[in-house]
Amino acid sequence: MNIRVARKEDCARLMELIHELALFEKAPEEVTVTLTEFEEAGFGTKPVWKAFVAEEDSFIHGFGLYYIRYSTWKGCRLYLEDLLITEKSRGKGIGKLIFDTLINEAVDKGYNGMTWQVLDWNEPAINFYKKYNSNIETGWLNASLSKEQINLLKSDPGL
């Protein structure tokens, strides 16, 4: 298994894996990004994400996609957006290879830590992260606005 930096030509396969993750997380309709948007965000003039892929015989079995997050309390931190190993390839240590690569990336770049989210019902993932003695917090609620909500709010003269 080879762990390497993702390339633009990997994006179509990464999108397949992103859809697999969305199915696993019971939210397939939530993936709205297009392949073109995804490629531009990773490899365009202003890339915002990077990823490592696990590849064997020219087939990508998984990936870890991240970006840099700035915390006013902690400074620059690697934010792991997604770590996914395709279902057929789980249990072979691929997740550990990618996660260890991400840890090395954070150390090599001098970041002040790593952060990520895990669903409270995803026991296999929680157990995986616990092996690293990671802090799994409670008490924070996720909040967001969709593109549609932002556009509605912007057009509301009462704001």
44-83, pLDDT tens digit by residue? 999 999 999 999 999 999 999 999 999 999 999 999 999 9
Report the domain count for the chain.
1
Q: Which of 72, 55, 71 is nearest to 63 (CA)?
A: 55
pLDDT of residue 5: 98
- What do you get for the CA distance between the two ends of the chain, in Å? 53
Residue 67 contacts residue 50 (beta carbons within 8 Å): yes
CATH number at residue 65: 3.40.630.30
Mean predicted confidence (pLDDT) in 86-109: 96
* DSSP H or E segment with residue 85: strand 75-85
Structural domain boundaries, residue 47: 2-155
pLDDT of residue 74: 95
Residue 64 contacts residue 80 (beta carbons within 8 Å): yes
In this predicted model, what pLDDT tens digit does every residue of 20-55 receive, in sequence order?
Answer: 999 999 999 999 999 999 999 999 999 999 999 999
Mean predicted confidence (pLDDT) in 98-127: 95
- Give the active site residues: 129
Model confidence at 147, in pLDDT bands (50, 70, 90)? confident
Burial (CB count within 10 angstroms: exposed 0-12, middle 13-18, buried 19+), residue 133: exposed
In this predicted model, what pLDDT tens digit does every residue of 102-116 receive, in sequence order?
Answer: 999 999 999 999 999
User: Does 157 score more than 80 pLDDT?
Assistant: no
Q: What does pLDDT average to over the chain? A: 94
Radius of gyration of the chain (CA): 17
What is the value of pTM for the model shown?
0.91
Mean predicted confidence (pLDDT) in 152-159: 79
